[in-house]
């Protein structure tokens, strides 16, 4: 199990089973945010983001909403605008919880393929 939260603890998540891997993407937003994602369609996640607790940023085709805590500013997760999927930022989990989890590099900038 992996637990994570923003710096102030307002937004929290729990990954119910430790994943084999998480994703580091080099697209323009992920690279600047320095995020590492665990995707809901690949593993079981529980996300606690109280209504009104996050600032939402949409860009490009506006299919994804990037959520950051309104109090401390940490980027906590993204959600598809149609509600079909989401991912949590594993940079917000402890290093101990993340031990042994492989970080896969994804080329979201050009090829839209994994680099490993």
Which residues make beta-bridge pairs with 55? 68
pTM of the model: 0.93
Is 100 within a domain? no
Cβ 75 vs Cβ 68: under 8 Å: yes
Q: Do β-strands 102-107 and 113-114 pair in parallel, antiparallel, or remain unpaired?
A: antiparallel
**35 lies in which domain range?**
2-92
CATH code (residue 39): 2.170.150.70
The domain tally of the chain equals 1
Is 104 within a domain? no
pLDDT tier at 18, thresholds 50, 70, 90:
very high
Is 98 within a domain? no
Residue 114: pLDDT over 90: yes
Sign, CA dihedral 9-13-18-20, equals negative
């Amino acid at each position: 199990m992996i637990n994570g939260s923003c710096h102030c603890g307002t937004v929290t998540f729990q990954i119910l089973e430790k994943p084999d891997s998480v994703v580091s993407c080099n697209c323009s937003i992920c690279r600047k945010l320095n995020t590492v994602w665990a995707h809901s369609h690949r593993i079981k996640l529980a996300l606690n983001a109280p209504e009104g607790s996050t600032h939402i940023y949409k860009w490009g085709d506006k299919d994804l909403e990037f959520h950051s805590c309104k109090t401390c500013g940490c980027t906590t997760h993204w959600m598809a605008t149609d509600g079909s999927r989401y991912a949590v930022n594993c940079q917000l989990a402890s290093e101990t919880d993340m031990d042994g989890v492989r970080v896969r590099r994804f080329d979201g900038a050009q090829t839209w393929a994994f680099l490993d």
